[in-house]
Amino acid sequence: MNRPFVFINVAMTADGKIDTFQRRGAAISSPRDKERVDQLRADSDAVMVGGRTLLDEDPKLTVKSEARRAERAARGLTPNPVKVGVVSEAKFEPHSKFLHEGGGRVVIFTTPRTSNEQFAFLRSLGVEVFVHEGERVDLRAMMQTLHELGIKRLMVEGGATLNFELIRLGLADELYAYVAPMIFGGDSAPTLAAGSGLERSAAVRLQLLHAESWEDGGVLLQYKIERAA
Ligand SMILES: NC(=O)c1ccc[n+]([C@@H]2O[C@H](COP(=O)([O-])OP(=O)(O)OC[C@H]3O[C@@H](n4cnc5c(N)ncnc54)[C@H](OP(=O)(O)O)[C@@H]3O)[C@@H](O)[C@H]2O)c1
């Protein structure tokens, strides 16, 4: 199967949480980590998020630094990477920042659960919409489509359910995790990878490519994601 190079980026606490039990998109990254994330976005062809992150938090997913946007333009690229949303039932607000900020290309993968009104709204904005039959988006077919759209390097920015499914299906190549020096706890607080989970014998193996200890107390980890054991 042809697909982009896919990497997942997360900011997590030392107990593996990527948000608190309140699920309001808690700040975890340090200022230095935010710069690192901005550079990763600027170096990507597209940036992707899952449906709950998309609809609950409405992220802009733009490159924040003007210098990095200019550097992309100098390379003949659009100032911001393509935004990609994976959402079973799209329910965007009229003034969604995800849809409107940055002025670039937006691609949505969804299912027939999305209403006709939403389809009409998205298409009126020029959003490219791909509809997959079934309850959820077919992530393998989605990767093939992204490849056909010219996406070679895809950054995935969560959340927990999308991360897990991509890892489970062997559709993610690398993982960056910034581990912040704090603990959130909470049974219901999302972790790096959620979903149905794997038995120990099926655990996905990681190979550590790089580790850095930062002056802000955080640790940056870069892993290659290998096949299930
Ligand atoms: N710290 C970080 O780096 C970071 C980054 C991003 C997000 N987050 C946090 O992550 C949390 C959200 O994560 P989440 O796990 O609740 O949701 P999510 O991964 O953002 O979104 C998953 C949703 O996408 C839809 N979907 C459609 N097709 C899918 C498929 N094939 N596989 C998986 N999902 C599919 C599903 O909707 P249906 O269930 O309706 O089918 C699913 O609920 C938030 O608390 C957010 O703050 C943290």
CA of 50 to the centre of ligand 1 (A): 4
Ligand 1: residue whose CA is nearest its atom 39: 88
> Of all helices (H) and strands (E), which one includes residue 56?
helix 51-57
Domain that holds residue 45: 5-228
11 CB near ligand 1 (under 6 Å): yes
How far apart, in whole angstroms, are the C-alpha atoms of residue 68 and residue 63? Answer: 7
Mutate to test the pocket of ligand 1, among 136, 163, 187 (most ligand atoms within 8 A of CB): 136
Q: Find the CATH number of the domain harbouring 21.
A: 3.40.430.10
Is residue 186 within 6 Å of ligand 1 at its C-beta? no
> Model-level pTM greater than 0.85?
yes
Domain count, the chain: 1
Copy the structure tokens of residue 72.
């992309």
Question: What is the sign of the dihedral through the CA atoms of 33, 38, 42 and 45?
Answer: positive
List the one residue out of 66, 135, 53 whose CA is nearest residue 97.
Answer: 53
What pLDDT was estimated at residue 1?
83
Which long-range contacts link 72-78 to residues 24+ away (Cβ below 8 Å)?
72/42, 78/104, 78/105
What is the CB-side half-sphere exposure of residue 46 using CA atoms within 13 A?
26
Ranges under pLDDT 50 in the chain: 229
Per-residue DSSP letter, 191 = B
Q: Which residues pair with 180 in a beta bridge?
A: 13
Within 10 A of 22 (CB to CB), how many other CB atoms are there? 11
28 CA: nearest ligand 1 atom: 1
The CA distance from 229 to 226, in Å, is 8
59: DSSP letter:
-
- Which residue's CA is the closest to the ligand 1 atom numbered 41? 88
Give me the amino acid identity at 136. R
Instruction: Render 16-31 in DSSP notation, one character per residue.
Output: SBSS-TT-S------H
Centre of ligand 1 to C-alpha 135, Å, is 15
Q: Which residues contact 154 (CB under 8 A, 6 or more apart)?
A: 4, 5, 6, 7, 44, 45, 46, 47, 48, 84, 146
Sign of torsion over alpha carbons 32, 36, 38, 42:
positive
Ligand 1 pocket member 218 (CB < 6 A):
no
Buried b (16+ CB within 10 A) or exposed e, 197-221: eeeeeeebebeeeeeeebeeebebb
Measured in Å, residue 169 CA sits from the centre of ligand 1 at 16
